[in-house]
Structures are given as C-alpha cells and as structure tokens.
Chain A
Amino acid sequence: MKHEEMRHKLSEFIDGAVTPGEKETIELHLKTCTECSDALRELRKTIEHIHAVEEVESPAWMTQKIMAKVRAEQEAKTGLWQRVFAPFLRQFPVQAVAVLFLSVTAFYLYTTMHPTKKYAEAPIERFAKREADDASRAAPKHKAPEIAERREKKVAQVPDYKSLDMKYEYEKPAPPLPAAPGVEAVATREEPAALAPAPARREATIPVKDEADLEKRAFALKAKKSAAPFQMAEQAAQKSSSSDALSLKPQEAASRKKQDKAAADVHYSLASNDISAAISKVRLIIRDLEGAVIKHDVVTNAQVLTVSLDSKKFALFTEKLKTIDKKAWSPDSLFPLREGPWIIEIMIVGNNPPSR
C-alpha cells in the first residue's frame, strides 16, 4: 500500500473499518511516516470536535404539532366510506367476502336448477317404463290422467322434455292397420288408451289379438268418418299426423274430455254368435231405458252402436247387456260419474270367425 493510499485509509482506520492486514500495514507505516501520523492525529481531533457538538433540543411543542398534523392527515384520508367499511374490511379481508359471495351464489344456482335431479330422472326412460308397466298389467284408471298430466307439464316446462316426449310419441303409434293386425305391440299400446276396459275385453269371448284388430278397425273407420270427435286435447298436444294413431287413442281421451258430443264416454264390448240379433236386443234395451241410438257402424265381423243414455240408468243398462253376453264388461267403478246423458259405444263382435 502506498503512502497516499494509506493516507486516504486513515478515516476508515479511525473507524476500525479496515481489514486486519490493512490495519497492520497502516500501523507500521505510521511509525515511520510523520505526515501520516500528524494527519491521523488531526483527524482524530477533528472527529472529537464534531462529537463534542451538543445536540439541539427540540421545541416543547414539536410532538403536539406533529401529532396535530398526523391527525389532520388521517381525517383527510378517512372519508365517510372508509369510516364505515375500513373496520369491516380489516376484520374480513376482501378475499373472504368474495369466497362467501361465490359460495352463496353457487348454492342458490344449484338449488334452483336441480342439475342432479334433471339427469337422474331421464324422462324418456321413466315414462316409457311406466307406460309399459301400465299397459302390461292394465294400470288402474287413475294412472292415465296422471301420466297425461305429467307429460303436459313437462312439455310446457322444459324444451328438452318436449323433444324427448316427441320422440316417445313417434315410437308409440302402432304400425299401419292392415300391415300388422295381430302384433303384440299393438295390443299393448292400445291398452293404456283403453283404460279399464282392457281386462274385461280379455275375458271376452274374442281372443285379445282379434279384439285388438277389430277394435282398431272400428276406430279407424270412425276416425275416417268423423275425425273431429276423436281429436281430443291430448291428441292435439301430440300433433300426431297419423290417423291410425288417432284411432288408437279415443277412449282414453273421451272419458274426460266432453267437448265433442259424439265422443263416447264408455265403450262396451260384446261377443255374440248372431251380431244382428244382438244389435236388435241392444236397441230394445236402449229404447226401454229411454236412450237414443246416435250412430250404427258396420265393419267386418263387428258392428258398433253409438248411443246416448242417462247416466242414472247406466247400472241397469249394464245388467241388461249381460243378458246378451254374460261377460259384458261393467264399467260401474270406472269413471267419475257425471250427471246427464252419456255417450256409450257398444261394439258387438261375432264369436265364430278367426280363432277358437
């Protein structure tokens, strides 16, 4: 280390801010260099003088004045909004408030939309299964309105349900009449529409398949002649374009939709060896009971009589029908009986032809 360099290090040397090696070198140099040792002495004296400078006292008012300014600063900074919300925000950080808000919103949406319920209950499966069950074991009469009600409800509520129902409805109609007269599916499809009459018809002398076929033909004919009577509310909702499909539905709807006078309230199915004789007997019974024959349709191996009869005479009418065919079905327990004239459709089929 040169002299000048050491001369510059004297300040640090006094502060003890030099390395041990530098310290040793400088101490050695100071022993031989008078200039540096004098400079060191003067420097120490100078620092001594500086240290000796007395501190000035702060004015007594200083603290109060500073605090007054600080309070004024705080007042200016703390507006009304901060006064109200600052303590709240200090206790509940913004993040916590945000999380709480999101949680509440998510829960609200979840409970409103029922996402799990929506997917858990696929409507097509549910209704299809129910319908099949109803059909196979001839569901009690109150099921049908319930299903119809639900279907209407779903269609009105959610578009998805409607589309699924529509799909279902497209699958539902029976194949064209002449093409598949004895298909099992036709019989099963028909039964929910037939409501309670189904079991009685099974007991009738005509086998189920034939009966289904005949009935279908009968209604198909009726549909052609007077489609309007069978355009019931449910059919309108379904908007089925097929008249065959329509022909399978009338009983179901007719039981509770009274807009159309020609729509039958009750359907009878009789089996007789002599259809003409049976028709005459039925006409006599109607006349005795002060009813009126509205229509008389003739189809292959069957005739359909549409009559009007007071509801009070219904039980008596049923009894008298049993004189023609013991197995004539009695609908006493079926419908919510209403006052006034009823439209009754009696189908008489021959015993002899197809099977048995």
Chain B
Amino acid sequence: MSNIPTENSSGALDADASLVALSQQGDLSAFEALVAKYQKRMLNIAFRFLGDHDDACEVVQDAFVSAYRNLRGFRAEAKFSTWLTAITMNLSRNRLKRMKLHQARVPVSLDAPIRTDDGEMMPDPPSGEPSVLDRMEKRDVQAKVQDCIKALEPDFREVLVLRDLQDYSYEEIGGMLKVAAGTVKSRLFRARESVKDCLKKSMGDLL
C-alpha cells in the first residue's frame, strides 16, 4: 500500500501549509490562492459523484465557504487537499440525499439523454456489433464511463472517484470517508467490477 503514489509532493504541502497559515490569520488573498488551486479538482470530484455540473458547482462553492469557516479548526498534520476533499465529498453526499428526496430515484437508463459538457446527447444503444463500436468516438466512451459511474451506489461511487479519478491512497480515502482501509479495498473492487460489467454491456467489448 505504501507504494501507492500520493498526489501531493512535499513542496506542494509546504506551499499549502503557508497559504493555510496565512488564511487562518485572515489573509483572504492566501485563501483565494487555495481556491484557485483546488477548485477544479473539487469540481471534478463533485461532478463525477453527482453527475450534474450545476449541482457540482454549488457544492464546490459551499465546500470552500465551509472550509474557510472552519479553517481555525484545521490542524497542520493533515493535508489541506485531503481535508478539503472530505468536505466536498460530505457536501456532495448531502446534496445527493436532498436530490433523491425531490425526485424518485430513477434507475440508470441507457436510453435516457446523457448530459455532457457540450449539452445533452443520446447514447448509442448497446450493441454487440463491432462495427458500431468502431464508430464510437472517444467522447462517447467517456459518456458511457460517466454513465456507468453514475449508476453505482454512492458508497461505491465515491471510492471509485477518489481512487481512480483522483488517485488518493486507500488510507487517505479511508480517512476522508471514515471507513477502514479493508472496506475501501472491497468497495473499490466491487465498484470496478460494476463499471466493467456496465461498460461491457454498453460497449459490447472492453478491448
């Protein structure tokens, strides 16, 4: 496990630490630097988890405000990025619950329009014909992957997003989600298997 690459180098850590220290003293420009540095990553985490760009943007804004509000309680022994990710994940989960309250949970339909950065698009119907797969463009594959990720249960989805999209270690993920490393491993295995099955179903063949 120790050979799992971690995202932040020590240099980045030092830079974060000084920015955090300044922010704790009320330096807003230092906090703005942290916002500029991490907003994209937080947006991607929220977006991959929620599957909705607008909701993800709101969650990210709330996450940074919440981080600023609680900055005095932040201790230097943790990484700021890890702490911020945990906040973002927590807010994302809360938002997902609210979203579920408003709309009955609809099982992922492969026929439903897929929302992408460029707007909505209709997914190609799953087909076992290689000729169809050959024509599939890269963006289509990504849409399918996103769709398959979105189809996962939240507990599995968040582990997959953090590990395979954000490269956090098992320990870091366990710390953020307050679960044991063994739980992270098993959830990750099941999440990957589910996505694999989903992709196989939608693309016919992974290769």
Using CB atoms and an 8 Å cutoff, list the residues of chain A in contact with chain B.
8, 10-12, 15-17, 41-43, 45-47, 49-59, 62-63, 65-67, 69-71, 73-74, 77, 90
Q: Is B81 an interface residue (CB 8 A)?
A: no
Task: Give the shortest distance, in Å, between B70 (CB) and chain A (any CB).
Answer: 11
Q: Is A43's CB under 8 angstroms from B64's CB? A: no
Q: Pick the contact of A42: B31, B36, B206 (CB < 8 A).
A: B206
Task: Give the shortest distance, in Å, between B3 (CB) and chain A (any CB).
Answer: 5
Q: Is B95 an interface residue (CB 8 A)?
A: no
A52 to B48, CA, bound (A): 13
Pick the interface stretch among B98-106, B121-129, B140-148: B140-148
Q: Is B61 an interface residue (CB 8 A)?
A: yes
Could you write out 10 A-B pairs with CB less than 8 Å apart? A11-B193, A12-B189, A15-B170, A17-B4, A45-B206, A49-B195, A51-B164, A63-B32, A67-B32, A70-B35
Q: Is B47 an interface residue (CB 8 A)?
A: yes
Q: Is B149's CB under 8 angstroms from A66's CB? A: no
A58 to B60, CA, bound (A): 10
A12 to B1, CA, bound (A): 9
Known pairs A43-B196, A49-B206; A12 contacts B145 (CB<8 A): no
Beta-carbon nearest neighbor of A62 in chain B = B39
Closest 6 CB pairs of A and B: A11-B189, A46-B196, A45-B206, A50-B164, A66-B64, A58-B43
Task: Give the shortest distance, in Å, between B98 (CB) and chain A (any CB).
Answer: 19
Summed over the interface, the residue pairs from A and B with CB atoms below 8 Å come to a total of 112
Residues of B within 8 A of A54 (CB): 142
Residues of B within 8 A of A59 (CB): 57
Beta-carbon nearest neighbor of A48 in chain B = B206
Q: Is B28 an interface residue (CB 8 A)?
A: yes
Residues of A within 8 A of B69 (CB): 73, 77
Residues of B within 8 A of A49 (CB): 141, 145, 195, 199, 206
Q: Pick the contact of B117: A52, A56, A74 (CB < 8 A).
A: A56
Beta-carbon nearest neighbor of A69 in chain B = B65
Q: Pick the contact of B39: A16, A42, A52, A58 (CB < 8 A).
A: A58
Known pairs A42-B200, A43-B193, A71-B28; A62 contacts B188 (CB<8 A): no
Binding site secondary structure of chain B? helix
Task: Give the shortest distance, in Å, between B80 (CB) and chain A (any CB).
Answer: 15
A266 to B121, CA, bound (A): 131
Task: Give the shortest distance, in Å, between B191 (CB) and chain A (any CB).
Answer: 9
Task: Give the shortest distance, in Å, between A180 (CB) and chain B (any CB).
Answer: 86
A136 to B188, CA, bound (A): 108
Q: Count chain B residues whose beta carbon lies closer than 8 angstroms to a beta carbon of A.
A: 49
Residues of A within 8 A of B48 (CB): 53
Residues of B within 8 A of A15 (CB): 4, 163, 170
Q: Is A62's CB under 8 angstroms from B141's CB? A: no
Q: Is B164's CB under 8 angstroms from A58's CB? A: no
Q: Is B40 an interface residue (CB 8 A)?
A: yes
Residues of A within 8 A of B1 (CB): 17
A339 to B11, CA, bound (A): 103
Task: Give the shortest distance, in Å, between B41 (CB) and chain A (any CB).
Answer: 8
A54 to B137, CA, bound (A): 14
Q: Is B185 an interface residue (CB 8 A)?
A: yes
Residues of B within 8 A of A12 (CB): 185, 189
Beta-carbon nearest neighbor of B47 in chain A = A56
Task: Give the shortest distance, in Å, between B31 (CB) and chain A (any CB).
Answer: 7
Q: Pick the contact of A70: B64, B163, B193, B199 (CB < 8 A).
A: B64
Beta-carbon nearest neighbor of B42 in chain A = A58
Q: Is B43's CB under 8 angstroms from A53's CB? A: no
Q: Which of B130-166 contact A (CB under 8 A)?
A: 138, 141-142, 145-146, 149, 160, 163-165
A66 to B146, CA, bound (A): 27
